[in-house]
DNA sequence: CTGTATCCGATAAGATACTG
DNA sequence: CAGTATCTTATCGGATACAG
């Protein structure tokens, strides 16, 4: 639960305060996060179906990414209360869909106009 | 110089191979990288003027980010050979300018349509 | 089924000192 | 002026075990 080593922490918050883009990119850079978003967009709404679709993801990472996406209001969590076994469904918010579109454009750019070294 | 702890390394390359977007985001997520790009776009072409513009960046980080941007062909390095003291100028490539535009759109989205927690 | 808790190795940022 | 080399600390991803 500790953090902030002076400059390291300071610089990160400085950059995030300066421009929201830095905070967004920091979020997007978390491994699997965009994949989880795209997988939900494609119709995988359950924890188990996401886990199956993203073959190599682990439970704790998937749970963490879902929590993050929910906190940033990019997805909504629909808990079907009281059902046993538990049933939860996720879906994109409007903001989430908009972001997904923008990332589509960026993806197209990355694949067609960028040259990656080695 | 060592790396790859099996799954950790494997998953990263798996995701980068699957979609170039992941590799691009991984690049953009390096701290200061977009700031360096934007600062060059605004006319800061020298190492020293970038360092002055981005007040809290350290030498080794700035040097590393410039090297990365050059490797990905987002900037070009123009070495004025034989001048003493050394003089080097950086500028955006066409690809760099295109990426900068796209990031502008993403930045606009981040600042106007996203809600950041806490 | 849908998660949480703890631990460990790998990577990234930055401080400091030094170089052509 | 424009960097490089070495080292320390913080953060991140993943394995494993467990819980409501």
Spell out the domains of chain A, with CATH numbers in brackets: 8-112 (1.10.10.10)
High-pLDDT (> 90) share of chain B, % = 89
Query: What sign has the CA pseudo-torsion B30, A10, A15, B117?
Result: positive
Instruction: Measure the CA–CA gap between A70 and B67, rounded to whole angstroms.
Output: 36
Instruction: Measure the CA–CA gap between A81 and A76, rounded to whole angstroms.
Output: 15
Per-residue pLDDT of B92-117, as tens digits, reads 999 999 999 999 999 999 999 999 99
Per-residue pLDDT of A16-45, as tens digits, reads 999 999 999 999 999 999 999 999 999 999
Average pLDDT over residues A85-112: 97
Q: Give how far B9 is from chain A: nearest CA, Å.
A: 11
Establish if B14 touches chain A: CB-CB under 8 angstroms: yes
What is the structure's pLDDT at A1? 43
Q: Nearest nucleotide to A79 by CA–C1' distance?
A: C2
Q: Contacts of residue A111 in chain B, CB cutoff 8 Å? A: 19-21
Residues 6+ apart with CB under 8 A from A94: none
Q: Give how far A93 is from chain B: nearest CA, Å.
A: 11
| HSE (side-chain half, CA atoms, 13 Å) at B64 | 10
Per-residue pLDDT of B69-89, as tens digits, reads 999 999 999 999 888 888 999
DSSP category for residue B41: H
Residue A30 CA distance to nucleotide C8 C1' (Å): 19
């Amino acid at each position: 639960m500790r953090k902030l080593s002076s400059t390291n922490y300071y610089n990160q918050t400085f950059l995030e305060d300066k421009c929201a883009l830095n905070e967004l990119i920091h979020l997007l850079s978390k491994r699997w996060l965009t994949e989880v978003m795209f997988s939900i967009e494609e119709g995988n709404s359950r924890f188990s179906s996401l886990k199956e679709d993203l073959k190599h993801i682990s439970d704790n990472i998937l749970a963490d990414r879902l929590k993050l996406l929910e906190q940033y209001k990019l997805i909504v969590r629909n808990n079907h209360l009281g059902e046993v076994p538990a049933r939860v469904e996720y879906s994109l918010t409007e903001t989430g869909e908009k972001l997904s579109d923008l990332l589509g454009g960026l993806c197209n750019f990355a694949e067609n106009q960028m040259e990656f070294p080695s």
